Amino acid sequence: MKKVLLVVAFFTCLGVYAQQNVTLKGTVVDLESYNEPMLLADVQLKNTDWKAQTNFKGNFELSGVAPGTYTLRVSYLGYETREMVLEVTGDAIARLHIGMQAETLDMGSIFETVEETPVKETVTAERENR
């Protein structure tokens, strides 16, 4: 009887532990170039240790994520950083498809109008000795 109770307790604990792990899988694509996969984009859950980079096909995987509410942050140099709130529940595999757009630069902040200031010329005359 003790062995049966021990086996039931083991499988119950195993089931509770398995429900705590969630795997987030997804793909990051470039919306500027007809949904081409983005290589080495950074994917992370903000304020946690869960982070990954995309592979050659733009895929990423974050495994062992505990249930809760997180902010998923996807960044890539030259592209706008995307952030989205995720509600992670149960023991499932969540699949995400994230599109990235190129970052737009405000040229007005780069080229500022410079006011012309008059230059005062100082002329000094030296006396010529002959």
pLDDT at 51 over 70: yes
| HEC string for the chain | CHHHHHHHHHHHHHHHHHHCCEEEEEEEEEHHHCCEECCCCEEEECCCCCEEECCCCCEEEEEEECCEEEEEEEECCCECCEEEEEEECCCCEEEEEEEECECCCCHHHHCCCCCCCCCCCCCCCCCCCC
- Which residues contact residue 44 at a Cβ distance below 8 angstroms, ignoring those fewer than 6 apart? 50, 51, 52, 72, 73
> pLDDT value at position 73?
97
pLDDT tens readout for residues 39-49: 999 999 999 99
pLDDT tens readout for residues 57-108: 999 999 999 999 999 999 999 999 999 999 888 777 788 999 999 988 776 6
- Which residues contact residue 98 at a Cβ distance below 8 angstroms, ignoring those fewer than 6 apart? 26, 27, 28, 29, 74, 82, 84
> pLDDT value at position 97?
94
> pLDDT value at position 81?
96
pLDDT at 121 over 70: no
Average pLDDT of the residues in 20-25 = 86
pTM greater than 0.85 (yes/no) = no
